[in-house]
Amino acid sequence: MRLAFSRWGLAPAAFWAMTPLELAACFAPATAPPPLDRPALERLMARFPDPS
């Protein structure tokens, strides 16, 4: 609880409303998404074209 209140800035109500899965996610190491490769970038560009 000390960590949640002091570091995470959670209010007591927010802490007690957390599910066990949410609490476990707070302690899991942060992982970065994989880098964007060219085919994925092209799919995004086709899906969200630049309007200009």
**Closest residue by Cα to residue 15 from 27, 33, 2, 28:** 2
Range of 4's domain?
1-28
Domain count, the chain: 1
- The pLDDT of residue 51 is 83
Structural domain includes residue 49: no
pLDDT band of 47, cuts 50, 70, 90: very high
Is 1 a domain residue? Answer: yes
**Between residues 51 and 11, the one the model is more confident about:** 11
pTM given for the model: 0.48
Q: What's the pLDDT at 52?
A: 76
pLDDT in tens, 2-41: 888 888 888 999 999 999 999 888 888 888 888 999 999 9
Tell whether 7 is covered by a domain. Answer: yes
Say if CB 8 and CB 25 are below 8 A apart. Answer: no
